[in-house]
Amino acid sequence: MLMWSAGCSLSKLRCGGDGVTIKCDERLGYNACMVTKLLLINLGVVLAYMAAWFVVGYRKKQLNTVDVAWGSGFAIIAWLVTLQQPSARSLLIAVLVSIWAARITNHLGRRVFSSGEDPRYKELSSKWKGNFWRRASFSIFMLQGVLVVIISLPVTIAAGEQNANLGWLSAIGATLWLIGFVVESVGDRQLRRFVANKANRGKVMDQGLWRYSRHPNYFGEMVQWWAIGLIALQVSYGWIGLLGPLTLTYLLLFISGVPLIENRRKSDPAYRRYMERTSMIVPLPPKK
């Protein structure tokens, strides 16, 4: 059992027979103490949640089941935070995150349970040695659980202060979030319809938003999380929350998003021409 004493330095964590007591140094301030508490609880709950999805993945023999867990993990954190530290700001963020999570979970869930394993995960795990599923539990499921907690930093930090009213940054952030949500939703829908049309098999999607960006869905997702980071700037040390969208941006641009897709597609001459004339992320007029 985790017991919390208001006012938090992990150097004062004490373990006893009745559980764990965390006593806080009041000099750190209320925000630091509350954020530490929320992070510990979020991490424990999300790792347990990802462990449950690992069981699903193991039974289906699909690593990409973690994609279904991904979006919902953020919603779980947002509502855990809101329930422990209710305010207008935490409620606003929880609603925004939940709308995004519901859409992305539905979008990815339909793909995961109808199309089998994702080529990205096949490529990622192709060089693994030893026990495959033991490696998957840590390298895929637990790792993504930790990433969910890190990317959710603005959600947690924005709720840390006792005075958590809405302000002008909340209005700007919510507006930017809506723009990002529309871009990501429209981009995903356009791509889904394109792929579903058998006449487009082997062709490059360069219509709609995809005419102006090779990855408009990723652009929209990044805008949404930077918008939530903007809302978090209203609190003390809110800038730390920007590590969340920064981490997401780095992952999409350099690790698990763009590189895995484009390394697989760039051998296609038509796709190479598409790369030459089309912006990678930010929607821009195509080059002539």
Give the model confidence (pLDDT) of 78-128 as tens digits.
999 999 888 899 999 999 999 999 999 999 998 888 888 888 888 888 889
Residues in the chain: 288
* Cα–Cα distance, 24 to 32 (Å, whole number): 9
The gap between the terminal CA atoms of the chain, to the nearest Å, is 63
**Phi then psi for 211, rounded to 5 degrees?**
-75, -25
Domain spans in the chain, listed from the N-terminal domain onward? 2-277
pLDDT of residue 256: 87
Q: How many whole angstroms from its chain centre is CA 187?
A: 18
Token pair belonging to 132: 């495959």
| Per-residue model confidence as pLDDT tens digits over 142-183 | 999 999 999 999 999 998 765 567 889 999 999 999 999 999
pLDDT of residue 126: 85
* Cα–Cα distance, 156 to 80 (Å, whole number): 9
Name the average pLDDT for the chain: 88
Local structure of 230: helix, strand or coil: helix
Higher pLDDT, 150 or 14: 150
pLDDT of residue 2: 39
The mean-pLDDT minimum among 27-31, 181-185, 194-198, 242-246 falls in: 27-31
pLDDT of residue 164: 62
Is the confidence at residue 140, as pLDDT, over 80? yes
* Cα–Cα distance, 76 to 283 (Å, whole number): 31
pLDDT of residue 177: 98
Find the mean pLDDT for residues 233-249.
94
Flag whether the pTM goes above 0.85.
yes
